[in-house]
Amino acid sequence: MLVSILRQGDFLIASIHTALDDSELLRFQHDVVAHIGEHRSRGVIIDVAALDVLDSFGCRSLRDLAQIARLRGATTAIVGIQPDVAFAIVQLGMDVDLHTALDLEEGLRLLEHLTTGQRGGRSTLGVLGDMP
């Protein structure tokens, strides 16, 4: 199993367990978005703690996923980015305007904080930066 997408209350927890290639990433993106619609989720947590590397495509996919999720009314938080991955991402100059948290627990708390006061699972926050 490469990924898992679990429902936790109003949130989705999508974990990537191993390095994904480009087509697997796109499929993952598609699956997450489908789950958001199905469960009417208010927030999505993407756990990348198992990834030692994240290339520019992976990074862009995550950003795209967050933007797509926002259009579908859910806020996205990326959790568990490894130190080396974090620095590689900024080193590559990838402008990632995402919500991030240390781990799953923190991510849940962050999403709770970001989505309180919303009703019906519809996000009204300007979560992401300007769309390219």
In the complex, the residues that contact another protein under the rule CB under 8 A are 78-79, 81-87, 89-91, 96, 98, 100-103, 106-107, 110
Q: How far apart are CA 26 and CA 105, in angstroms?
A: 26
Identify which of residues 106 and 112 has a Cβ nearer to another protein in the complex: 106
Backbone angles phi, psi at 56, to 5 degrees: -65, -35
CB of 2 vs another protein, minimal distance in Å: 23
CB of 122 vs another protein, minimal distance in Å: 25
Sheet holding 43-47, edge to edge: 3-8, 11-16, 43-47, 75-79, 99-101
CB of 31 vs another protein, minimal distance in Å: 24
Q: What's the one-letter identity of residue 120? A: G
CB of 102 vs another protein, minimal distance in Å: 4
Are 101 and 69 in contact, with CB atoms under 8 Å apart?
no
Identify which of residues 19 and 94 has a Cβ nearer to another protein in the complex: 94
Give the contacts of 85 (CB within 8 A, at least 6 positions apart).
Answer: 48, 51, 52, 53, 54
Identify which of residues 22 and 95 has a Cβ nearer to another protein in the complex: 95
Q: How far apart are CA 27 and CA 51, in angstroms?
A: 17
Identify which of residues 57 and 87 has a Cβ nearer to another protein in the complex: 87
